[in-house]
Amino acid sequence: MIIAAADGSALGNPGPAGWAWYVSDDCWAAGGWPRATNNQGELTAVLELFRATAHLDDELLVQCDSQYVINSVTKWMAGWKRKGWRKADGSPVLNRELLEQLDAAIAGRRYRFEWVRGHVGHPMNEAADERARAVAEAYRRGEDVPTGPGWVGDCEPATDAAVAAVPVESAASEPAVPAAAALADRETEDAALFDFDEPEADWRTLSLELTTEEHTRLVERARAAGLTPEEFLRGLI
């Protein structure tokens, strides 16, 4: 079994952005764009990981801190395809081109996702995050992009024992909400935590009263995440 972490980073969301997958210090790859979203980075990291391992027959364990990516592949994609890549409300699915490429890349592959909490010291997630962020920073500063060695001959698949040693949570489980103290340390691009497509679900109406100051803060945070205030609130919930 191959164990790999995949992560994305966007400074500004959208802004200078990077993606990275990581197996070991000798086996990783990264890339990015002058301007993209965090979700595009997250999706591309997983896509490039599947492409890099397409020649192998090993099962692939993808450690990912993006529930948007995991849910897109494991829950929502089949329904989106049936509806012509539209969501339940009829609006176009975001990042369709990347999702279609990912759909093709995973066809016939043996894989599973494990959700890991980001920014809490998980070694492989941190390694992927650092490399994705380094690419975003390089684009922001106009420097050479660190792309990594890619998949080279000495990239050894991890053993089952190594899987058991890595603390992960199943993609099927409901992760706890990060503590307020942990969220306080997140930077601008982490507003993308709330930037996701809605699942196929029934809708309910909720009325909420805000003070003028609260509404102003909500609008500012939603704008920073590239969302409407309503979409941002749904992400918080």
Residues making up the annotated binding site for Mg(2+) are 7, 42, 65, 129
For the question of residue 122 being annotated catalytic, the response is no
Distances (CA, A) of 88 to 78, 84, 92: 12, 11, 9
Give yes or no: 58 in active site.
no
Q: What's the rounded Cα separation, in Å, for the pair 107 and 188? A: 35
Structural contact between residues 62 and 45, judged by C-beta atoms closer than 8 angstroms: no
Catalytic member of 129, 189, 195, 197: 129
Annotated binding site: 7, 42, 65, 129
- The active-site residue, picked from 79, 103, 119, 130, is 119
| Catalytic position from the list 12, 32, 41, 42 | 42
Q: Give yes or no for a contact between 227 and 234, defined as CB atoms under 8 angstroms apart.
A: no
Q: Is 154 marked active-site?
A: no
42 is an active site residue? yes
> Is residue 8 among the annotated active site residues?
yes
Q: Which residues are catalytic?
A: 7-8, 42, 65, 119, 129
